[in-house]
Structure 1
Amino acid sequence: MSDPGPLEAVHDGVVALRSGTRLGQFVSAGLVGMAVDNAVLVSLVEFAGLSPVVGKVIAWEAAIVVIFAINERWTFSTFASGDREALARRFLRSNAVRLAGLLVTLGVLAGLVYGAGVWYPAANVVGIGVGFVVNYVAESLYTWRVQYGER
């Protein structure tokens, strides 16, 4: 069987993203990660005296570790086969992918906190919501390489 052309590949990717079960699991993992993210963020701002933006960067990585573990074992478990080296590659890809989501989240957080005076935990939740689409698409297609018609 030959490789699909660019239009077929895009179509197959879009169809693969429409899995309601996988999307629900991804959202659930994200909600756990959001709770971790906000708990770490508030702790770092309120108790360690960090700025919301600096605290967000640290909180982001803590949440990424939790989200990756949930997605690896649950959401994308059928795509997560392989040895430790493969696991390490997926973790690095996940961090790279989520960097785009972090930049979106940081932009929204900074804009809402410093530009509009929004309370930083609320601004963080809004930013996470905005970055969700970028994360779901990139994690599905790049980190775990989900394709239509597979598993």
Structure 2
Amino acid sequence: MRGNHSRAFAGLALALTATLGGAVLTAPTAAAAPSKAELRKQADRYMNMTYNDYHNARKTGPFNFKNNGCSVPGNSYAPFKVTFTRACNQHDFGYRNYGGNGLKLSKTRSTKNWLDRRFKQEMYRACKNSNWHKKSCETAADAYYLAVNTGGDKAFFG
């Protein structure tokens, strides 16, 4: 009986080989992981979005999208926390993926400064879209920016 099964299997294998033109069936291989340059390009796209576009974007890739909202530089600026939350979340993405605690896409002073400037731009954009008095809101944005620009080295560089 065993010989019959072996012959049947051999016949099936021969028939499949003939049908497939000698092609060898292999298990599909996993796609190659994106290069650091490709990841940087994807991360740059997220960082160059407006804070609302970032918030609404489909979050893909090996990136760290965790955020902790806004750390408030002093109680007088606490009311702006909600206004700036989306800009803060985008800034968190930058620190976690470019800096020393994540993918380390560009752990440089120049990149940290760029991320901080983008943060300020997006907070100013949030001020335009809010009900706050423009000057008061931008003063608060300046305080948040100053806090991350002067006190954010440990969070960025690790």
Q: Tell whether the structures are fold-level matches, with TM greater than 0.5.
A: no
TM-score (ref. length: structure 2): 0.34
TM-score in terms of structure 1 length: 0.36
If you compute each CA radius of gyration, which structure gives the higher value, 1 or 2? 2
Q: Whose RCO is larger (CA < 8 A, sep 6+)?
A: 1
